[in-house]
Amino acid sequence: MDKEQLMESARKVKKAAYIPYSKFPVGAALLLKDGTVINGVNVENVSFGATNCAERTAFFTAITNGYSKGDFKAIAIAGDTEDFLPPCSICRQVMAEFCSPDMPVYLTNNKQDILELKLRDLLPYAFTDLDM
C-alpha cells in the first residue's frame, strides 16, 4: 500500500468521528507490517480529558487485535485543516512506545497535499524505555 492509498483510508474514516463538541473530524490509518490497515477516529466526550484521538484509537485497536511493538509500518493522519495536521503530543508519545523512530508519518491538509515525516522528526528526544 502506498502513502496515497493509506491517506485515502484516513480521509474516508474521519467521517465516522464522534465530534459533537468540536466538529473537528480526524481520521487515522495505521499500516501494519503484514499489510493490514487499522483505522481510528477521534471520539469526544463532554469531559474533554476523556476524549481519544484518532491515532490512539488506531493503535489501541491494533493492540487489542493482537499486534505489538514493532508491528507498525506507517501512519496517515487526515483532518480538514489549512496546514498539515500533526498528532498531539500524547499521540506522539504513544507512537514512540510502539514504533521505530524511522517510521513514516504522513500528514495532510484540506488541499489533499501529503507531507511525509519520520516519527523522529515529530518527536526528537523522545522519552523511551531506554530512559527508564
Per-position pLDDT tens, the chain of length 132: 899 999 999 999 999 999 999 999 999 999 999 999 999 999 999 998 899 999 999 999 999 999 999 999 999 999 999 999 999 999 999 999 999 999 999 999 999 999 999 999 999 988 887 666
Report d(CA 44, CA 47) in Å as an integer: 8
Q: What is the pLDDT of residue 129?
A: 74
pLDDT reported for residue 130: 67
| Among the four given CATH numbers 3.40.50.410, 3.40.140.10, 3.20.20.370, 3.30.413.10, the one describing domain 3-127 | 3.40.140.10
The answer to whether 91 is a known ligand-binding residue is yes
Q: Which amino acid is at 84?
A: F
What pairs with residue 43 in β-bridges?
18, 52
Query: Exactly one of 4, 8, 44, 55 is catalytic; which is it?
Result: 55
What residue segments make up the domains of the chain, in order of their start?
3-127
Question: Is 55 in the active site?
Answer: yes
Asked if 72 contacts 99 with a C-beta cutoff of 8 angstroms, the reply is yes
Q: What is the pTM of this model?
A: 0.95
| pLDDT score for 125 | 87
Look at the alpha carbons of 46, 49, 50, 55 in this order and tell me if their dihedral is positive or negative.
Answer: positive
Report the distance separating Cα 62 and Cα 21, nearest Å: 27
132 to each of 39, 79, 119, 128, how far by Cα in Å? 31, 34, 20, 7
Distances (CA, A) of 46 to 53, 61, 79: 14, 22, 21
pLDDT at 128: 81
Which H or E element spans position 107?
strand 104-108
